[in-house]
A and B are shown apart, each in its own frame.
Chain A
Amino acid sequence: MVRNASIRRPFAGGLAVAMATMLLAEWSASAAQATSGQAGSAPTSAAAVALPAGIATRPRGDGLVFTDARGMTLYFYDRDEGTPGRSACEGPCATNWPAVLAPAGANPPPGWSMVQRADGSLQWAFRGRPLYRYTLDDAPGASFGDGVGTVWRAALKQIPLPREVRIRPTYLGQVLTDAKGLTLYASGDDKPGKTPGCNDRDCLRSWQPLAAPWGATRQTGDWTTVARADGSRQWAFRGKPLYRYSSGDVSAGETFGHGVDGWQAIVLEPAPPLPPWATVQPSDAGELIANKQGITIYSFGANARGSRVYRGPGVKCPDGTCIDAQWKPFYASPSDKPIGSWGVARLESGKLQWTYKGMKLYTNVLDEKPGDFKGIRFGGDRSWSAIMRSGEPMQGVTVGG
């Protein structure tokens, strides 16, 4: 018995130490993560980031977007992560995505560096990631390149987030989600500084509190934790306790709880406005932007991505863009006004054509009813994208394309 006890005690003690270490590590990690961004936790404060000459920031709901001195959005390229210390966008790629060059002898502030390009020039990089401009951005404030090819991102210093939280695009805009992508909500009835009101069984059946880890009690910028009636702690954003909508949201990006009984998704950056002709149509792939008749519209990004063009019979080359006859230009009238990411381009023929993020818009003759999107298919030309309600492009898939 004694021997057994003597064996158990060190084990139990070791377990306790291990648990304490784990909990401390959990607390430290959580607090550190939330605290680490505290210097820049005021997303509207450009002074929070040291900047080289010629680079500025623009506040956005989800962080600070880097811009050049004119206010034009700068971008990161995901494929650069595979080529540390140099740019993966050279040659034709650089035509559409010119590098943000640093002057010789520049002195990088903390967090900044320069990478050498193939031609010997120096390119600014933030935290090792080279910066680019996008040629289709037509005005300061435009960020048409954000999301192109799912590899280009607006260069953003994101607001600090707890480990349990992410940001995700939805049709509402950029929203807070949990680590699995489930949208986070706040109740209109919850008041900052008060105990969360959703405590009874009926409420908790639909709204699941976003639990904060043990020890994450520090006030860090927008993020705080609140004590629940049962003693557990819950994350709160700007004083509002956060919940998932467990009665409705099952998959990442769903927002079924938005507007239910005074509950609202936490929208950091609202989705850009739609033009007056736009309708939203359900489809198997999600909600698509369509014209007034409900027919899906597509953007043609050959210019942006340098994709191939079709050269068969029946091919027309209106206004310098050689495309298959199945695509019909989506014309604008002289009274139409650009709005948000939606613009109007004047063609060589004098006609006006709607654009989205600088790319011309078309309909496809194969689409006969609302929700059809036959312009997008496997083996098709990836230059064409349908536009999701979230603003994201939906492209076909082509091996080697």
Chain B
Amino acid sequence: MMSTSLFARRAAFVSLFGLLAIAAQAPLHAAANGQSMGFVVTTWNIASYETRFVDECPEGLNVGYDEYWWRSLSKPDRARYTDNGLKSRLERYFNAIRRGPNGEDVCMNPTVVKDPPHRLVESEKAYGMDLDGKDGVTAGRSCPHKEFTGIDGTKGVDNQLYRLLGCVYGFRSYGQFEANENENRKSNGKGMTLIEITGVDNPRNDPEVTVNFYRSIDLYTLDGSGRFLPHGSYRIDTYGGKPRYASQVRGKIVNGVLITEPGDVNLPFYGNYTYQNRLFRDLRMRMTLSKDGDSAEGTAAAYFDLDELMFYIGGLGPIQSTAISNCPSIYVAAHEIADGYPDPKTGECTALSSAFVFKAVSAFVVHDGAAGTMSAGQGWWQRVKEWFR
């Protein structure tokens, strides 16, 4: 017969084991108790509404800078500059890009030549959101511009970035600018955005959450086929103990869709060998969270700084050869159709309304810059302590 003391010891052991087992389950409930959800953005593209027969560009797509250079040459010069026609477009880049009257690089100095007008999108429809409201121009928030109708019939959609770049081959969904950006980020981990939603009480419906944006310094976690894996750990880019990118906006979750209020957001960017710290003003997001919590996808709309955009396009260099793009004409058109943030002195707008589509997978956002600090052992002890509180 078992002695009382032994029975008591065994009962205590079983109880303790039971407590630990319950404690181990605690995070499942804690996750829905003012907790956080993390995501790493995997692809980010201009929201481009494209029809099968390119009806949005009735005059066709734009002409590239190489074509303008080629047209300006006499036949003997064409032979001279291209090894009798044997040089590829990429190889003749240095000659073609320096077609300014004094040999200037026309992407670095887009005003030194006067090229034919840039072809803009003429479609009535576009992806995007109404950024300036009904009284944007009269209230001084915007400059006069044509508005789109959303794909879902929403009136007053602003998306001048699409209007500017929708008829440039390289910026369309099959163009290499966008593909390169996503591929660069996937291979070298530069310009990766982390989205962390905090204060989540219910992951499907929560009237008030906070959305934080950070830059990651880690590479994507991929499977053997190169697909993005959810639940990887990503460290925040910090310096001196503070995140280098740390924007925050308020939002809510409605039926599994995160909807944010407008706010200025800094996002890291790397693509086509160019780094950028992009400031998206008045950014608002609609992000649909998958039911299993593994992934998300959404749309973001914001005002995109004109100088930042032109710095990027001006530096695209030889890729513009194959992307059939021409900096000087884009530069002129961008200034003509800019619709956001009027300069208080000149009245000219300094930003373009824009819309983007993006995808993300769930991620553990590591805050202190040290991966491994969230080890299973520490988490287990933390859960036990929390359970006893």
- Complex contact B371–A373 (CB within 8 A): no
Q: Mark B89-116, 1 if CB is under 8 A from A, else 0.
A: 0110110010010111101110010000
A303 located at the interface, meaning its Cβ lies under 8 Å from any Cβ of chain B in the complex: no
- Complex contact A379–B373 (CB within 8 A): no
A200 located at the interface, meaning its Cβ lies under 8 Å from any Cβ of chain B in the complex: no
A400's partner among B90, B274, B311, B377 (CB-CB below 8 A) is: B90
- Complex contact A250–B235 (CB within 8 A): yes
- Complex contact B93–A400 (CB within 8 A): yes
Chain B residues near A378: list those with CB within 8 A: 272-274, 315-317, 319
Contact stretch, chosen from A180-188, A211-219, A343-351, A391-399? A391-399
Give chain B interface residues in 166-203, CB to chain A under 8 Å: 190-191
- Complex contact A312–B275 (CB within 8 A): no
- Complex contact B277–A397 (CB within 8 A): no
* Chain A residue nearest to B320 in the complex (CB): A379
Q: Mark B289-333, 1 if CB is under 8 A from A, else 0.
A: 000000000000000000000010011111100000000000000
Closest Cβ of chain B to A265, distance in Å, is 16
A283 to B268 alpha-carbon distance, docked (Å) = 11
Give chain A interface residues in 348-401, CB to chain B under 8 Å: 366, 371, 373-374, 377-380, 396-401
Give chain A interface residues in 295-353, CB to chain B under 8 Å: 310-313, 324
- Complex contact A248–B109 (CB within 8 A): no
- Complex contact A374–B311 (CB within 8 A): yes
Chain B residues near A205: list those with CB within 8 A: 372, 375, 377
A256's partner among B272, B317, B369 (CB-CB below 8 A) is: B369
A282 to B270 alpha-carbon distance, docked (Å) = 16
B281 located at the interface, meaning its Cβ lies under 8 Å from any Cβ of chain A in the complex: no
Q: Given contacts A284-B215, A312-B104, A377-B311, is CB(A400)–CB(B91) below 8 Å?
A: yes
* Chain A residue nearest to B189 in the complex (CB): A251
Q: Mark A113-133, 1 if CB is under 8 A from B, else 0.
A: 000000000000000000000
Q: Given contacts A256-B370, A400-B91, is CB(A311)–CB(B275) below 8 Å?
A: no
Q: Given contacts A250-B235, A251-B217, A313-B102, is CB(A373)–CB(B275) below 8 Å?
A: yes
- Complex contact B218–A251 (CB within 8 A): yes
* Chain B residue nearest to A246 in the complex (CB): B372
For chain B, which range describes its interface: under 10, 10 to 19, 20 to 34, or 35 or more residues? 35 or more
A400 to B273 alpha-carbon distance, docked (Å) = 15
A312 to B275 alpha-carbon distance, docked (Å) = 25
Chain B residues near A313: list those with CB within 8 A: 102, 104, 109, 112
A206 located at the interface, meaning its Cβ lies under 8 Å from any Cβ of chain B in the complex: yes
Chain B residues near A377: list those with CB within 8 A: 273-274, 311, 314-315
A397 to B311 alpha-carbon distance, docked (Å) = 15
* Chain B residue nearest to A399 in the complex (CB): B318
* Chain A residue nearest to B366 in the complex (CB): A250
A400 to B97 alpha-carbon distance, docked (Å) = 13
A275 to B272 alpha-carbon distance, docked (Å) = 34
- Complex contact A247–B311 (CB within 8 A): no
Chain B residues near A398: list those with CB within 8 A: 317-318
Chain A residues near B268: list those with CB within 8 A: 284
A285 located at the interface, meaning its Cβ lies under 8 Å from any Cβ of chain B in the complex: yes
Chain B residues near A250: list those with CB within 8 A: 217-218, 235, 371
- Complex contact B275–A379 (CB within 8 A): no
Chain A residues near B372: list those with CB within 8 A: 205-206, 246-248
- Complex contact A312–B109 (CB within 8 A): yes
B388 located at the interface, meaning its Cβ lies under 8 Å from any Cβ of chain A in the complex: no
Closest Cβ of chain B to A325, distance in Å, is 11
Chain B residues near A379: list those with CB within 8 A: 97, 105, 107-108, 314-318
Closest Cβ of chain B to A209, distance in Å, is 15
Among B237, B270, B273, max chain A CB count under 10 A is at: B273
Number of interface residues of A (CB under 8 A): 32
Give chain A interface residues in 269-288, CB to chain B under 8 Å: 282-285
* Chain B residue nearest to A396 in the complex (CB): B273
Q: Given contacts A282-B239, A284-B268, A399-B93, is CB(A380)–CB(B191) below 8 Å?
A: no
Q: Mark A194-208, 1 if CB is under 8 A from B, else 0.
A: 000000010001100
A248's partner among B91, B112, B316, B370 (CB-CB below 8 A) is: B370
A251 to B371 alpha-carbon distance, docked (Å) = 11
Chain A residues near B272: list those with CB within 8 A: 378
Q: Given contacts A377-B311, A400-B91, is CB(A312)–CB(B316) below 8 Å?
A: no
- Complex contact B315–A380 (CB within 8 A): yes
Among A366, A399, A401, max chain B CB count under 10 A is at: A399
- Complex contact A247–B318 (CB within 8 A): no
B250 located at the interface, meaning its Cβ lies under 8 Å from any Cβ of chain A in the complex: no
- Complex contact B275–A285 (CB within 8 A): yes
A283 to B239 alpha-carbon distance, docked (Å) = 10
Chain B residues near A400: list those with CB within 8 A: 90-91, 93-94, 318
Closest Cβ of chain B to A178, distance in Å, is 16
Q: Mark B227-241, 1 if CB is under 8 A from A, else 0.
A: 000000001010100
Give chain B interface residues in 67-105, CB to chain A under 8 Å: 90-91, 93-94, 97, 100, 102-105
A312's partner among B91, B103, B190, B239 (CB-CB below 8 A) is: B103
- Complex contact A397–B273 (CB within 8 A): yes
Give chain B interface residues in 210-228, CB to chain A under 8 Å: 215, 217-219
B204 located at the interface, meaning its Cβ lies under 8 Å from any Cβ of chain A in the complex: no
- Complex contact A399–B317 (CB within 8 A): yes
* Chain B residue nearest to A250 in the complex (CB): B371
Chain B residues near A380: list those with CB within 8 A: 108, 315, 317
B244 located at the interface, meaning its Cβ lies under 8 Å from any Cβ of chain A in the complex: yes
- Complex contact A247–B316 (CB within 8 A): no
Chain A residues near B103: list those with CB within 8 A: 311-312
Chain A residues near B91: list those with CB within 8 A: 400
Chain B residues near A373: list those with CB within 8 A: 275
A74 to B377 alpha-carbon distance, docked (Å) = 53
Chain B residues near A201: list those with CB within 8 A: 377
Closest Cβ of chain B to A32, distance in Å, is 35
A119 to B276 alpha-carbon distance, docked (Å) = 48
- Complex contact A247–B373 (CB within 8 A): yes
A248 to B372 alpha-carbon distance, docked (Å) = 7
A366 to B97 alpha-carbon distance, docked (Å) = 21
A398 to B94 alpha-carbon distance, docked (Å) = 10
- Complex contact A284–B274 (CB within 8 A): no
Between A and B, 14 residue pairs with Cβ closer than 8 Å are: A205-B372, A282-B244, A284-B191, A284-B237, A284-B275, A284-B277, A310-B104, A311-B103, A377-B274, A377-B311, A380-B108, A396-B315, A397-B273, A400-B94
Q: A378-B273, A398-B317 are in contact. List 11 more A-B contacts (CB 8 A).
A: A201-B377, A247-B371, A250-B235, A256-B369, A284-B191, A312-B102, A312-B103, A324-B108, A379-B97, A380-B315, A400-B91
Give me the 4 closest cross-chain CB pairs, A-B, nearest first. A379-B317, A312-B104, A377-B315, A378-B273
Binding site for A on B (CB under 8 A): 90-91, 93-94, 97, 100, 102-105, 107-109, 112, 190-191, 215, 217-219, 235, 237, 239, 244, 268, 270, 272-275, 277, 311, 314-319, 369-373, 375, 377
